[in-house]
Chains A and B, each alone.
Chain A
Amino acid sequence: QLQLQESGPGLVKPSETLSLTCTVSGGSISSRTFYWAWIRQPPGKGLEWIGSIYYSGSTYYTPSLKSRVTISVDTSKNQFSLKLSSVTAADTAVYYCARQRSGGSFLLDPWGQGALVTVSS
């Protein structure tokens, strides 16, 4: 059964870079059937798709964050990562990683349990 687990600092200072890693277990991140996605949910707000990466390294980002976001993949470690630069309090959120089907409905399943990242000095 595929599982995903987010890891990284829970507290980041304003203007610094948020870094999270998602470790995939129970399956290969190199599967041609899936992308790997990051989604976030600010406190009291809705879900926001941040972007996705294919095992080959091709990426898609949401335009509102594109200038600050980098998603990368490490197939040797079965991990993918999120970096968000120049963070502000508005980037405080629970960050989720998820597997995204690469065709058909592009559904997100399963998801990691989420990692709360607070931006504060």
Chain B
Amino acid sequence: DIQMTQSPSSLSASVGDRVTITCRASQSISSYLNWYEKKPGKAPKLLIYAASSLQSGVPSRFSGSGSGSVFTLTISSLQPEDFATYYCQQTYSTPYTFGQGTNLAIK
């Protein structure tokens, strides 16, 4: 299985901050990397697919980059509704593994 490791596991930030979350794969996965936002009691929401493509309806303050084995999710200016847990997922090969999650909390 391909292991996905996110860093940091948690971080605190303020509204308006620029935040970057990193996801590393245990082997090259080309651009087969998706990002999801998860809030308590809600279904996960797709934010970014194919490493850098913004899902329809997702605010442009979210962006993704990377290829190979290192990827980043950036939120350019944090809004109150962005405090959540973020997961990366590789879809290069089955099983389609997720990272352990990054909990983004209000400072």
A contact residues vs B (CB 8 Å cutoff): 39, 41, 46-49, 60-64, 96, 104-114
Contacts and interface: CB of A to CB of B under 8 A. Distances in A.
A46 B46 contact: no
B89 interface: yes
A47 B98 CA distance: 6
Contacts of A107: 34, 46, 49-50, 55, 91
A106 to B, nearest CB: 4
B96 A109 contact: no
B47 to A, nearest CB: 10
Interface string B38-73: 100011111001100101000000000000000000
A113 B50 contact: no
A39 B55 CA distance: 20
B43 A111 contact: yes
A113 B101 contact: no
Interface residues of B, number: 26
B49 A105 contact: yes
B38 A47 contact: yes
A50 to B, nearest CB: 9
B95 A63 contact: yes
B91 A105 contact: yes
Contacts of B38: 41, 47
B97 A105 contact: no
14 contacts: A46-B100, A47-B36, A47-B44, A47-B101, A49-B98, A63-B95, A105-B50, A106-B91, A108-B34, A108-B44, A111-B43, A112-B43, A113-B42, A113-B43
A63 B1 contact: yes
> When A and B form their complex, which 9 residue pairs have the shortest distance between CB atoms, in order from nearest?
A106-B91, A62-B95, A111-B43, A105-B50, A109-B46, A107-B49, A105-B49, A47-B98, A49-B96
Interface string B88-107: 01010011111111000000
A61 B31 CA distance: 22
Given A46-B99, A46-B100, A60-B94, A105 B32 contact: yes
